[in-house]
Amino acid sequence: MVTKKALVTGLTGQDGSYLAELLLDKGYQVFGLVRRSSSSHFGRISHFSNNIQILSGDLLDQCSLMDALSEAQPDEIYNLASQSYVPISWSQPALTAEYTAIGVSRLLESIRRCKPDAKFYQASSSEVFGQPDESPQTERTAFRPRNPYGVAKAYAHWMTVNYRQQYNLYNCCGITYTHESPRRGTEFVFRKITRGAALIKLGLANELKLGNLDARRDWCYAKDAVYAMWLMLQQEQPDDYIIASGTTHSVRELVECAFNCIGLNWQDYVSVDPAFYRPDEAVELVGSINKAQKNLGWQPQYSFEQLVELLVDHDLKEITERGISH
């Protein structure tokens, strides 16, 4: 059997690291495109980095992308790299556009010139919907992004679709909603809560301060999300799909569930601190996964409750084994 080859950008991030693991499990030869400056961020991939071929390249530099494609000759390309932190997209809107929008133009143009038979996955985001007209959102819901990151992702999405139509390339966009895992930073509320609960359970903290408990999100597991990305490139026809859980939960439900896992009453430990309130709270977004279910046979394997339990267990274990500073 011929070994398939995949090139992943954003390899060192949460999704890139899970996707690379999935591809290695499936017997792929995996190449990772990595900026030279990110060599110090190998934490998420250190346990399998020896099995991956690292290529130096940057979405800002077209030549480096063409060189990487020529060298790897990938059958599949997954673009998971971007400047993805929304507050930074306000302070550095042009740089965000360079990476998240124009970077995709450079990559598409490089594919067209160097490897037009490769299948391409573009990581779109629910941020493209911004303030949508309908709920749940579908693949046909109009894009109304509300921050420079969402605007850049909308551009990248439509360029990917346009290159599919214009040049007949096998291009897919996956519009992902929030997805979590043990590799997610603790500044995000999901892991802030699971880690906070673990610290309290282990007697290392006695309170957890949070912001808006009524905020709601459509949360799913990052491993489920990367499986959908791979499935999209295994179809006969390229298409665009929403990747979400299809339901929302509030931060309050999340806290309650995490404290249930450790057998404590959350109200005894959680307090609301206005410092964590957002002045511009995002609109509640929820994705319809009907199309992914029907065409890809995909649906999340982990429920909200299972995901909370998975992360609480992980955080309890990690703190016990590696200490509080990790």
Binding interface with ligand GDP (CB under 6 A): 178, 187-190, 192, 210-212, 215, 217, 251, 276, 278, 281-282
Write down the least CB distance from residue 165 to ligand GDP, Å.
Answer: 31
Of 28, 121, 149, 155, catalytic:
149
Active site (annotated) includes residue 288 = no
Of 17, 64, 125, 288, catalytic:
125
Write down the least CB distance from residue 23 to ligand GDP, Å.
Answer: 26
Nearer to ligand GDP, 50 or 271 (CB): 271
Write down the least CB distance from residue 127 to ligand GDP, Å.
Answer: 9
C-alpha–C-alpha distance, residues 270 and 14, integer Å: 28
Nearer to ligand GDP, 34 or 189 (CB): 189
Nearer to ligand GDP, 8 or 270 (CB): 270
What's at 294, amino acid-wise? K
SS (H, E, C) the chain: CCCCEEEEECCCCHHHHHHHHHHHHCCCEEEEEECHHHHHCCHHHCCCHHHEEEEECCCCCHHHHHHHHHHHCCCEEEECCCCCCHHHHHHCHHHHHHHHHHHHHHHHHHHHHHCCCCEEEEEEEHHHCCCCCCCCECCCCCCCCCCHHHHHHHHHHHHHHHHHHHHCCEEEEEEECCEECCCCCCCCHHHHHHHHHHHHHCCCCCCEEECCCCCEECCEEHHHHHHHHHHHCCCCCCCCEEECCCCCEEHHHHHHHHHHHHCCCHHHCEEECHHHCCCCCCCCCCECCHHHHHHHCCCCCCCHHHHHHHHHHHHHHHHHHHCCCC
Write down the least CB distance from residue 64 to ligand GDP, Å.
Answer: 30
Nearer to ligand GDP, 93 or 211 (CB): 211
Nearer to ligand GDP, 64 or 82 (CB): 82
Write down the least CB distance from residue 120 to ligand GDP, Å.
Answer: 26
Q: At what angle do helices 189-201 and 251-262 cross, to 10 degrees?
A: 30
Of 76, 127, 180, 256, catalytic:
127
Active site (annotated) includes residue 170 = no
Write down the least CB distance from residue 137 to ligand GDP, Å.
Answer: 15
Nearer to ligand GDP, 167 or 188 (CB): 188
Active site (annotated) includes residue 109 = no
Tracing tokens 């977004």 back to the chain, one arrives at 285
180 neighbors 219 (Cβ within 8 angstroms): yes
Catalytic residue numbers, as ranges: 125, 127, 149
